Amino acid sequence: MLEAGRKGLEEMTVTGNDTAQVYKSGTLQVLATPRMAALMEETAWKSVADSLEPGKGTVGTKLELEHLAPTPVGMKVRCESVLEKVEGRKLVFSIVAKDEKGEIGKARHERFIVEEEKFQKKAEQKNG
């Protein structure tokens, strides 16, 4: 059973493939906001994945993100999530990302628990 307080932790080192220039979110060789968002979502979903029933997963439905400082290529980023609320199938997380010099981003993130097979079929029905 999922309870508030569950924590997650993921780390990465920024590479040339993680930059704003590559993600087309800018022209600079710094950690792209979309890449930081992906790390935040990864940290949240992985923090609860092992507590879900077989065949269940989570999908992101909302991400309120602040990117506060740039991170250069070669620097390590540490992302920590905390499950703040469990409201039925809805999970609410607070997330903080830090590089080696301090906080670079924070977010509030919502995910919903879904039946993976049913969810995938629903998506595939859009193809006709």
In the structure encoding, which two tokens stand for residue 71, read together?
Answer: 């991170």
Which one of the listed residues 10, 43, 58, 67 is annotated catalytic? Answer: 67
Q: Has 41 been annotated as catalytic?
A: yes
Q: First-to-last CA distance in the chain? A: 37
Q: Has 87 been annotated as catalytic?
A: no
Which one of the listed residues 33, 42, 80, 84 is annotated catalytic? Answer: 33
Determine the Cα angle at 88 with ends 87 and 91, to 5°. 55
> Can you give the length of the chain in residues?
128
Which one of the listed residues 19, 41, 43, 58 is annotated catalytic? Answer: 41
Q: Has 110 been annotated as catalytic?
A: no
Q: Give how far the C-alpha of residue 12 lies from the chain's centroid of Cα atoms, to the nearest Å.
A: 13
What is the chain's Cα-based Rg?
16
> Known catalytic residues?
33, 41, 67
